[in-house]
Structure 1
Amino acid sequence: MRFIKDLYLSNRFFAALIACGLLFVIAFFIPVLFIPAKLLFAIFILLTAIDFISLFSIKEAFFSRRFMAEKLSNGSENEIILYLENKYNFSVNVKVIDEIPHQFQKRDALFKESLKKGQTKKLKYLLRPVKRGEYEFGAINIFISSIIGLARRRFRFEQGKTVPVYPSFIQMRKYELLAISNRLQEIGIKRIRRIGHSSEFEQIKAYVPGDDTRTINWKATARKSSLMVNNYQDEKSQQVYCIIDKGRAMKMPFEGLSLLDYSINASLVLANSAMIKGDKAGIITFSSRISSVLKADKKPVHLQHILELLYNQRTNYQESDYESLFANIRLNINQRSLLVLFTNFESRAGMRRQLPYLQRLAKHHLLLVVFFENTELEELLDSKPENTEDIYLKTIAEKFSYDKKLIVKELNQHGIHTVLTPPSKLTVNTLNKYLEFKSRGLI
């Protein structure tokens, strides 16, 4: 039974069988062809037997394995490696079908290779998940054929493997490495000139070329008879809270990812960056009620807590309750903090309903409201209308786009900082705003 399950006949087998059958039919009318037909059929049977024996004579004649990370990164390209090893004593043709999770809706994970005797090879391909959760990988199906090519033998490896998809830790690590190597400008992070100094004095030290001459301490200079400067350090241990709206407005998808997933990925990067700079990072998620609160901290293990919390967040398609958000923040956050609110306002009326609560938050904390441009409207805004319906649609699109700008202006008038950004640039624009606040000494 095992032999039958793993045996597959190729197109070449059926083509040869049909050719023999046709030759026998023709030989019925032309008897002289009967002997060549029998000879050809005998050769066909012999080659088929040789092919079967060569493929099935060795029990473990091939090996394959899938190499991948223990968890995948949402919204990022994740590398999958398939290792192939030919243990036959002859060259084989290999067809590889990897059973990838159904969430990708891909049926083309098919690879064709040729491996010589004892040869190994690695196949690489990329997967980009757009939803968090558990992904089930199936088996690696290997179909082996010899140079004769009349039959194939199937091997199955790695049968069933569940892999979790977490918020984009690949993106987080990328920003972290670029920050360490001072290359953040390559991805749009601006160098922002520091205005003034932190109020936290550290020490008086000898002047070295490159120190800010405005920090010269003239009294200490007179006592030491050499230039001395005041040394300041950045204020640390400030609290940064990423507040993620999980209401129905955040379910809107752009390039496969929902606004909620964009916000979760940006929150992870921002929290990690804040902790690197010595600040404390916390997370609050809410919709019709407060879903989860993770107190701000900066311990190394805290990043893993953030990752685990963000992994399970889902929209519930309900209206977000900003009143309960305000009440929870007033109750649980006593120290003045930076609140980065990831939400989405599609109309001025929708924003004005929440404006009283945003004003109250801004009174006690430094509030940054981050919401999204509708990039799907860009093509419509740039198009030339050809009929009345096109004019109507373009007019509506322009109104939506203009309303977003008016929302920014109105929030700024009430002392609320804003970032209006395309979803694809959310992380960069949010980080730039955080660094701007740090440079201005606002937090």
Structure 2
Amino acid sequence: MRSGGGLYPTARAVLLMAAGAPVALIVGVVAPALWTIGFAWMLLVALLLAADAMLAPGRAKVTADLSVPGSASVGSRIEATLRLSARTRVQSAIDIDDRLAAPDGVRRDLDGDGGTPIALDTIRRGTGHISALWLRWKGPLGLIWNQRRDDRDHAVLITPDLRPVREDSQLLIQQAITGETARREIGTGSEFQSLVQWQAGMDRRAIDWKQSARHATLLAKDWQIERNNQILLAIDAGRAMAEPLGGVPRVDRAVTAALLAAYVALKLDDRVGLFAYAEQPIVSSAISLGIHSFPTLQRLAAGIDYGTREANHTLGLTRIAQKLDRRTLIVLFTEFTDPTSAELMVRACAPLLARHLLMFLIYRDEELENLAAAEPTEPEDVTRAVAAQALLRERAIVAARLKRMGVHIVEARHDTAGTALVEAYLGLKRQGVV
């Protein structure tokens, strides 16, 4: 930890020094022989400054301990705590980056009694840093500021907001388990579980005629959803996904939906991995089994930054294909922006479909829909409506091409996208497609 600082006069010292000028002027006019009094005054103030600097506590004796929570969800409020080591009044300030905000300011007055809290709001996902701690204190005469700057490296891992995951996942998991327990139809799973007595209302295609003849009673096959499936959640973190949707960047909404899907899949004993890319791959996790791997996925998801360049879909999807060694459900969170990037993405998807199952989560752009549907009142409204309709048409064309190729498309509002994705995933499991 590097430190630095220095000594400089207080406002009192400046006023005291400046007060000698008019006194010296008056003395010089009234009694010219006593003109040296002005220099004596300045010398006296200089001596007082030196004495105050010597009597003030040294920098080694004035230190402060800064404790900061290691992680927090985006949009929450945390508290950093400052504890002073010296019994003197000290002014402090901290340097924070743009992922953190201090609603009450970053400056505090410390007096050595207990800890002093500093409220911090987490406003962006990623890793927020407190890079420096500033301390300054006066001498006993109040003429000198003694200041020090300590370089710090306090990191706050700002994770996605998991409240939607906690609120929605339990109901979705319960529905999946209930549906699995009460299943009595063929085609709702891919693994044979047992033979059961056929009952009225069951699908007749479930009857095992060979075993029924052997046991002289109607028996039906009961199926269960296949477990240990492999799922890769791939997030496009390019420039288009940094654009806001409903006041929140698309990539943040994608991360929240991906974590909800990961939590449900891990609870249902499937294997889940996380991949993110922009112009280059950003995050690539192992495909893990068990709910104990969810904190790792959460930590990696927090490190997906906001892209400033176009996503390289060809490179990203090629790396995904190289990463997978068995049939996998690949869920891609992306956005269609222009025909060129969409065409490259469609071409990159074709090799994956030969071996894997591909699903796209696309957010409905309600702003474009409203612009296209708004009744024009001015010529500019017509231009905006035509442009919005053209963008929506391009999105629809790309989505239709992907569907014809065999890609599963989930298009939903931003506030229901996570639930819609999980329901589509559970539907594929029940059909035995995954």
TM-score of the two chains, using structure 2 as the length reference = 0.63
Distance 1:358 1:81, change over 3 A: same
Q: Is the 8 A contact 1:78 1:128 kept in 2?
A: no
Question: CA–CA distance in 2 between the matches of 1:122 and 1:44?
Answer: 38
Q: Is the 8 A contact 1:96 1:110 kept in 2?
A: no
Q: Which residue of 2 aligns with 1:56?
A: 57
Q: Is the 8 A contact 1:372 1:422 kept in 2?
A: yes
Shift of residue 141, structure 1, vs aligned partner: 0.8
Q: After the TM superposition, which residues 215-254 of structure 1 pair with which residues of structure 2 at under 5 Å, given as runs?
A: 235-245=226-236, 250=240, 252-254=242-244
Q: Is the 8 A contact 1:190 1:432 kept in 2?
A: no
1:171 counterpart SS class: coil
Distance 1:117 1:437, change over 3 A: same
Q: Which residue of 2 aligns with 1:228?
A: none
Question: CA–CA distance in 1 between the matches of 2:59 and 2:410?
Answer: 64
Q: After the TM superposition, which residues 317-396 of structure 1 pair with which residues of structure 2 at under 5 Å, given as runs?
A: 317=310, 319-321=312-314, 325=318, 328=321, 332=324, 334-335=326-327, 337-346=328-337, 351=342, 366-373=357-364, 388-389=379-380, 391-396=382-387
The answer on 1:126 being equivalent to 2:121 is yes
> How many pairs are equivalent?
396
Shift of residue 140, structure 1, vs aligned partner: 0.6
The answer on 1:143 being equivalent to 2:136 is yes
Q: Is the 8 A contact 2:313 2:344 kept in 1?
A: no
Q: Is the 8 A contact 2:330 2:358 kept in 1?
A: yes
Question: CA–CA distance in 2 between the matches of 1:323 and 1:54?
Answer: 64
Shift of residue 161, structure 1, vs aligned partner: 2.2
Q: Identity of aligned pairs, percent?
A: 16
2:313 counterpart SS class: coil
Q: Which residue of 2 aligns with 1:95?
A: 91
Q: After the TM superposition, which residues 14-413 of structure 1 pair with which residues of structure 2 at under 5 Å, given as runs?
A: 14-26=14-26, 28=28, 52=53, 55-56=56-57, 60-69=61-70, 79=78, 81-85=80-84, 87-88=86-87, 92=89, 94-101=90-97, 111-116=106-111, 118-130=113-125, 137-145=130-138, 149-157=142-150, 159-161=151-153, 163=155, 169-172=159-162, 174=163, 177-178=166-167, 182=170, 194=179, 197=183, 199=189, 235-245=226-236, 250=240, 252-254=242-244, 263=254, 266-283=257-274, 296-299=287-290, 302-303=293-294, 306=297, 311=303, 317=310, 319-321=312-314, 325=318, 328=321, 332=324, 334-335=326-327, 337-346=328-337, 351=342, 366-373=357-364, 388-389=379-380, 391-405=382-396, 407-408=398-399
Q: Which residue of 2 aligns with 1:7?
A: 7
Distance 1:293 1:38, change over 3 A: closer
1:399 counterpart SS class: helix
Shift of residue 430, structure 1, vs aligned partner: 3.5
Aligned residue identity for 2:265? A
Distance 1:401 1:178, change over 3 A: same
Distance 1:308 1:37, change over 3 A: closer
Distance 1:191 1:30, change over 3 A: farther
Distance 1:82 1:347, change over 3 A: same
RMSD of aligned Cα (Å): 5.7
TM-score of the two chains, using structure 1 as the length reference = 0.62
Aligned residue identity for 1:367? L
Distance 1:107 1:307, change over 3 A: closer
Distance 1:403 1:326, change over 3 A: same
Shift of residue 81, structure 1, vs aligned partner: 1.0
